[in-house]
């Protein structure tokens, strides 16, 4: 099994068309938890389809409660790292969409320089990436940083 | 124990300060007592009093504080003995909790296991009642035999006679399932095991918080539980073992307290129960556990059970209001534990969105992966009720679930 072509990775809007500014702006309009989480659920549903054939152990992100898979391709021209993520939990998928908006289609140096914690803090979602939450999101972020460190 | 009073839910809730707080802007609804129960103020006060007035090491005997600490600590053992109706205080061994208790027993019993010997465990066991036996089997060449359950989440009782044979040495089952809430007919099971000459080990972690247990009536060889699920502190648990079984068991850990005499030529071990209690024990935790048991002793247990069952019946009656909600575990005899799934939602989605509404439940595999595999689910959401929960708590849960389900449509 080979990974999807780089073009398929590049088709993801997160981190390209959809920017952190967009999400921050949307969040400002949403004033209660129901609206905010409905938006996160929508983000989760809008993640590009993840190839079923890649849902295997080597792409598995070990979390506690939900299953998370992550694959990546590097564009040899500009060194940008393209990511695809999936989970069987929709809120985790939605939060993965936020992570992708922040870290997808970035160079290794850009990823390493990003303060993801402060962005999650601004979105009032920091609890989801805290060390005490066993949802795999923190492991997801650590893995992306490790991929960046290798490339 | 002091006199029993009527079951007054308002008075009970006023004993649990922790329940009186807001989470995410909403009053807390705590439905995760099967993971760890809350502690009444009486337990906190007892621990506080112990450290403020009586703290010293136990069994040293040279000064007054040491005498007081020892008296407190040993009276907790007497309290547990009385609570589960053990025949002797020698039969009550302190451990860190249920997990260590089962490890102590499995480790000790493994010394008499031979290759091909069989250990029966059920499919509904917590990992703590599976892995120690697997480790014992690995060391000795013994074999694990799995006792199946039916769709409702009850042991297939007619299987037991087929499982028991001349090679069977140990039967380790839970009294109450942490996921399904099923109450197993332990007394009858132990009777069959005993008739076959099999040692019975009962995991009582989820049973003791809900009903009175009498180990002599059950006639089991070993019974184990944790303090922290019994409204006491974390860090302490109990092995009950019949005296002759404990006498036959080798010590678990070596060190101070568990010895009678030490020399480099050889060491003799202390008598029961101290033989199994190496090192300085969890003294304040024992004091706290005693306070928890005394607290329960002041509640009308029959009324408490009726209250809990009332909560569960109310929950059952509301299940049909949540589209796609499915229960895992529908045994006839249950404690008030409700494991469930909602179509289209992952248990972690349910947990996250209930937390937003101030409602605490457990989600995941509940340390019972073989059971999850049996039902072919990644995990479940689990609401577990204790005597301090109210009908309003049940209604908040279901109103919350209805709201969540709509968000996903």
pLDDT tens, B145-177?
A: 999 999 999 999 999 999 999 999 999 999 999
Q: Inform me whether the C-beta atom of residue A71 falls under 8 Å from chain B C-beta atoms.
A: no
My answer on whether B390 and B251 are in the same domain is no
Contact (Cβ atoms closer than 8 angstroms) between residue B408 and residue B345:
yes
* A87, A90, A134 member nearest B408 (Cβ): A90
Determine which of A134-143, B82-91, B168-177 has the lowest per-residue pLDDT on average: A134-143
Nearest CA in chain A to B24: A33
| Helices and strands, number each (H, E), in chain A | 7, 4
Domains in chain A, number: 1
Is the pLDDT at A125 greater than 90, yes or no? no
Q: Inform me whether the C-beta atom of residue A92 falls under 8 Å from chain B C-beta atoms.
A: yes
Domain boundary among B268, B297, B326: B297
Q: Please give the residue range of the domain that contains residue B361.
A: 9-30+300-408
Domain CATH code at residue B309: 3.90.1150.10
My answer on whether B256 and B357 are in the same domain is no
My answer on whether B154 and B280 are in the same domain is yes
Domain membership of residue A140 (yes or no) is yes
Domains in chain B, number: 2
Domain membership of residue A1 (yes or no) is no
Chain segment B212-263, per-residue pLDDT in tens: 999 999 999 999 999 999 999 999 999 999 999 999 999 999 988 888 889 8
Q: Please give the residue range of the domain that contains residue A21.
A: 6-150
Is the pLDDT at B2 greater than 50, yes or no? no
| Helices and strands, number each (H, E), in chain B | 14, 17
How confident is residue A35, by pLDDT bands cut at 50, 70 and 90? Answer: very high
Residue recorded with tokens 């069987």: A88
Question: A65–B356: do the CB atoms touch at under 8 Å?
Answer: no
Which residues contact residue B175 at a Cβ distance below 8 angstroms, ignoring those fewer than 6 apart? Answer: B183, B184, B186, B202, B203, B204, B206, B207, B213, B223
Is the pLDDT at B338 greater than 90, yes or no? yes
Domain CATH code at residue B229: 3.40.640.10
How confident is residue B5, by pLDDT bands cut at 50, 70 and 90? Answer: low
- Does residue B144 sit in helix, strand or coil? strand
Chain segment B361-386, per-residue pLDDT in tens: 999 889 999 999 999 998 999 999 99
Arithmetic mean of pLDDT, B319-325 = 98
My answer on whether B271 and B353 are in the same domain is no
Tokens encoding A17: 């068309």
Domain membership of residue A102 (yes or no) is yes
Q: E-strand spans in chain A?
A: 60-61, 68-74, 80-87, 106-107
What is chain A's mean pLDDT, rounded?
Answer: 89
My answer on whether B327 and B263 are in the same domain is no
Q: Inform me whether the C-beta atom of residue B24 falls under 8 Å from chain A C-beta atoms.
A: yes
> Which of B144, B210, B148 lies closest to B175 in space, CA to CA?
B210
Domain membership of residue B1 (yes or no) is no
What pTM was estimated for this model as a whole?
0.94
ipTM > 0.85, yes or no: yes
Q: Give percent above pLDDT 70 in chain B.
A: 99
The pLDDT of residue A132: 63
Is the pLDDT at B1 greater than 60, yes or no? no
d(CA A91, CA B363): 14
Q: How far off is chain A from B33, nearest CA to CA, in Å?
A: 19
Domain boundary among B297, B312, B332: B297
Arithmetic mean of pLDDT, B48-56 = 97
* B347, B348, B407 member nearest A41 (Cβ): B407
Q: Inform me whether the C-beta atom of residue A64 falls under 8 Å from chain B C-beta atoms.
A: yes
Is the pLDDT at A1 greater than 90, yes or no? no
Query: Kindly report the CA angle at B93 between B66 and B106, in degrees rounded to 5?
Result: 145
What is chain B's mean pLDDT, rounded?
Answer: 96
Q: Give percent above pLDDT 90 in chain B.
A: 92
My answer on whether B254 and B383 are in the same domain is no
- Does residue B3 sit in helix, strand or coil? coil
Contacts of A96 in chain B (CB under 8 A): none
How confident is residue A131, by pLDDT bands cut at 50, 70 and 90? Answer: low
How confident is residue A110, by pLDDT bands cut at 50, 70 and 90? Answer: very high
């Amino acid at each position: 099994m080979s990974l999807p072509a780089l073009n398929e990775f590049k088709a993801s809007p997160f981190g390209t068309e959809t920017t952190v500014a967009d999400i921050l702006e949307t969040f400002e309009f949403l004033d209660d938890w129901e609206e905010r989480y409905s938006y996160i659920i929508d983000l989760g549903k809008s993640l590009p389809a993840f190839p079923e054939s890649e849902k295997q152990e080597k792409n598995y992100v070990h979390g506690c409660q939900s299953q998370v898979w992550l694959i990546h391709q590097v564009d040899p021209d500009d060194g940008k790292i393209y990511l695809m993520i999936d989970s069987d939990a929709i809120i985790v998928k939605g939060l993965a969409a936020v992570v992708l908006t922040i870290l997808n289609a970035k160079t290794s140096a850009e990823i390493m320089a990003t303060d993801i914690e402060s962005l999650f803090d601004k979105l009032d979602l920091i609890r989801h990436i805290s060390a005490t939450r066993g949802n795999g999101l923190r492991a997801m972020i650590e893995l992306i940083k490790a991929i960046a460190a290798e490339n | 124990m002091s006199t029993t009073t009527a079951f007054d839910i308002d008075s009970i809730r006023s004993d649990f300060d922790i329940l009186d707080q807001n989470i995410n802007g909403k009053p807390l609804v705590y439905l995760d007592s099967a993971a760890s129960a809350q502690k009444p103020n009486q337990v906190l006060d007892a621990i506080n009093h112990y450290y403020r007035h009586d703290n010293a090491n136990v069994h040293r005997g040279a000064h007054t504080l040491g005498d007081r600490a020892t008296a407190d600590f040993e009276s907790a053992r007497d309290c547990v003995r009385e609570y589960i109706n053990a025949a002797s205080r020698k039969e009550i061994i302190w451990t860190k909790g249920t997990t260590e208790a089962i490890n102590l027993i499995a480790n000790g019993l493994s010394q008499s296991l031979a290759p091909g010997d069989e250990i029966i465990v059920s499919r509904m066991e917590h990992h703590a009642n599976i892995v120690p036996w697997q480790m014992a089997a690995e060391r000795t060449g013994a074999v694990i035999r799995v006792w199946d359950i039916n769709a409702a989440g009850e042991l297939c009782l007619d299987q037991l006679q087929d499982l028991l044979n001349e090679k069977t040495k140990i039967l380790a089952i839970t009294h109450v399932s942490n996921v399904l809430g099923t109450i197993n007919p332990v007394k009858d099971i132990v009777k069959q095991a005993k008739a076959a000459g099999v040692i019975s080990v009962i995991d009582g972690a989820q049973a003791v918080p809900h009903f009175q247990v009498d180990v002599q009536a059950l006639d089991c060889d070993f019974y184990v539980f944790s303090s922290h699920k019994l409204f006491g502190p974390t860090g302490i648990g109990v092995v009950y073992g019949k005296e002759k079984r404990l006498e036959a068991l080798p010590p678990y850990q070596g060190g101070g307290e568990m010895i009678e005499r030490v020399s480099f030529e050889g060491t003799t071990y202390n008598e029961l129960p101290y033989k199994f209690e190496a090192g300085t024990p969890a003294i304040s935790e024992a004091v706290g556990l005693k306070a928890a048991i005394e607290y329960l002793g002041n509640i009308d247990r029959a009324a408490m059970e009726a209250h809990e069952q009332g909560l569960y019946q109310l929950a059952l009656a509301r299940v049909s209001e949540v589209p796609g909600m499915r229960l895992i575990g529908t045994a006839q005899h249950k404690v008030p534990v409700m494991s469930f799934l909602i179509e289209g939602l992952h248990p972690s989605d349910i947990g996250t969105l209930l937390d937003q509404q101030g409602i605490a439940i457990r989600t995941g595999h509940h340390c019972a992966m073989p059971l999850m595999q049996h039902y072919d689910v990644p995990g479940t959401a689990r609401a577990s009720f204790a005597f301090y929960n109210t009908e309003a708590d049940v209604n908040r849960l279901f109103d919350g679930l209805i709201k969540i389900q709509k968000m996903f449509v």
